């Protein structure tokens, strides 16, 4: 299942702490449960009928829970390879959840439904239109019953952390915000709940390239602060390489994981990193892999 890709991380880069970071594929031996673990997970819709459709078949992988660190796993693959299915299964969202066969464990416990311990950011803007930025960011705390004064203080803090102005933007409504600002609100709304797992389903897919780079930097910075495990779906190979500590390459018919590749952690901002030679090398290697997967999928008789 795991693609045999040689580890060509640039070990001579002293400014890249990730280049020497051990990233074990298997759960650490200290008995600490994995952050996310899929064991033989299959999802078939309308099984046994003429409308049977296989979303993913026999998907198994492990994302370790690194003490005080967490990491970003990116999921790459053609449309229909089941990337969203995998993510929504971790979130416990129907109809992808529950799996037809196999088990999904998060931090050692089987997923039984959605919960605030697994925050999710969607590609489509999901700001609650009737709430201000502050009202959106504090939604989860409100549901938990945190007192108003306390949740608004926390909300303002997170509005500032995602790069918005708490004084000017807190009282704005989502329709007054740009796409990038809306996604910042969505990220703040998720992170204010301190989830251990953060699921991101192409969150920057609808943004223009410049905003996208800013958001990537923001994510890397925030992730270091919150030390959570991030699962990030993207169509952009560059994004997958820049953000990912490991990249899962997925293939179609049936949806499955074709390769798992470890990546060096990027220390420099997105704009600087993404012009470096090693970065380009990784991107073209992955691009070739994706193209061969797509070519295999489109061959007749497969």
- Three-state secondary structure call for residue 166: helix
129 near other proteins, judged by CB under 8 A = yes
Site for other proteins in 51-90 (CB under 8 A): 88
93 near other proteins, judged by CB under 8 A = yes
Give the separation between CA 223 and CA 288, rounded to whole angstroms.
29
Q: Which of 60, 126, 211, 253 binds other proteins (CB under 8 A)?
A: 126
According to DSSP, the residues that pair with 43 across neighbouring strands are: 56
122 near other proteins, judged by CB under 8 A = yes
| Inter-residue contact 37 to 59 (CB < 8 Å) | no
Locate the DSSP E strands across the chain: 36-45, 53-63, 72-76, 101-106, 109-110, 118-121, 197-201, 229-233, 246-251, 256-262
Nearer to other proteins, 144 or 280 (CB): 144
Q: Which of 74, 190, 252, 274 binds other proteins (CB under 8 A)?
A: 190
| Inter-residue contact 196 to 229 (CB < 8 Å) | yes
| Inter-residue contact 56 to 255 (CB < 8 Å) | yes
Binding segment for other proteins (CB under 8 A), chosen from 44-52, 69-77, 115-123, 225-233, is 115-123
Which tokens hold the place of 237? 């190979």
Nearest by Cα to 73 from 284, 280, 265, 278: 265
Binding segment for other proteins (CB under 8 A), chosen from 111-119, 246-254, 273-281, 291-299, is 111-119
Nearest by Cα to 57 from 76, 31, 85, 30: 85
278 near other proteins, judged by CB under 8 A = no
139 near other proteins, judged by CB under 8 A = yes
Give the separation between CA 113 and CA 94, rounded to whole angstroms.
9
130 near other proteins, judged by CB under 8 A = yes
Binding segment for other proteins (CB under 8 A), chosen from 65-73, 128-136, 228-236, 261-269, is 128-136
Nearer to other proteins, 118 or 161 (CB): 118
7 near other proteins, judged by CB under 8 A = no
Q: Which of 59, 76, 91, 207 binds other proteins (CB under 8 A)?
A: 91
Q: How far is the CB of 267 from other proteins (least distance, A)?
A: 31
Give the separation between CA 127 and CA 275, rounded to whole angstroms.
34
Give the separation between CA 64 and CA 276, rounded to whole angstroms.
29
Q: How far is the CB of 41 from other proteins (least distance, A)?
A: 19
Nearer to other proteins, 16 or 229 (CB): 229
Residue 180 CB coordination number (10 Å) = 19
- Three-state secondary structure call for residue 281: helix
Q: How far is the CB of 288 from other proteins (least distance, A)?
A: 34
Give the separation between CA 221 and CA 102, rounded to whole angstroms.
35
Nearer to other proteins, 49 or 130 (CB): 130
250 near other proteins, judged by CB under 8 A = no
Binding segment for other proteins (CB under 8 A), chosen from 99-107, 136-144, 218-226, 230-238, is 136-144
143 near other proteins, judged by CB under 8 A = yes
* Contact footprint for other proteins (CB under 8 A): 88, 91-93, 114-116, 118-120, 122, 124, 126, 128-131, 139-140, 142-144, 171, 173-175, 189-190, 193, 199
């Amino acid at each position: 299942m795991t693609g045999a890709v040689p580890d060509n991380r640039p070990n001579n880069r002293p400014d890249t702490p990730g280049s020497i970071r051990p990233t074990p594929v298997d759960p650490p031996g200290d008995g600490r449960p994995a952050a996310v673990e899929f064991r033989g997970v299959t999802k078939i819709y309308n099984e046994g009928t003429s409308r049977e459709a296989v979303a993913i078949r026999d998907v198994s992988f492990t994302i370790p829970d690194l003490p005080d660190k967490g990491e970003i796993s990116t999921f790459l693959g053609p449309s229909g390879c089941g990337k969203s299915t995998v993510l929504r299964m971790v979130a416990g969202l129907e109809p992808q959840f529950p799996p037809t066969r196999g088990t999904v464990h998060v931090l050692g416990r089987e997923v039984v439904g959605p919960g605030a311990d697994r925050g999710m950011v969607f590609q489509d803007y999901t700001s609650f239109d009737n709430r201000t930025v502050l009202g959106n960011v504090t939604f989860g705390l409100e549901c938990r019953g945190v007192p108003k004064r306390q949740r608004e203080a926390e909300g303002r803090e997170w509005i500032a952390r995602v790069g918005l102005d708490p004084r000017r933007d807190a009282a704005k409504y989502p329709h007054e915000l740009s796409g990038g600002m809306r996604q910042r609100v969505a990220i703040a709304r998720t992170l204010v709940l301190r989830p251990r797992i953060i699921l991101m389903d192409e969150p920057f897919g609808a943004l223009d390239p410049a905003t996208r780079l800013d958001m990537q930097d923001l994510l890397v910075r925030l992730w270091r602060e919150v030390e959570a495990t991030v699962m990030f779906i993207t169509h952009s190979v560059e994004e997958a390489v820049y953000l990912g500590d490991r990249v899962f390459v997925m293939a179609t018919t049936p949806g499955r994981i074709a390769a798992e590749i470890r990546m060096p952690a990027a220390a420099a901002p997105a704009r600087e990193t993404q012009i470096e030679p090693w970065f380009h090398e990784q991107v073209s290697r992955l691009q070739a892999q994706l193209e061969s997967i797509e070519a295999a999928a489109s061959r007749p008789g497969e």
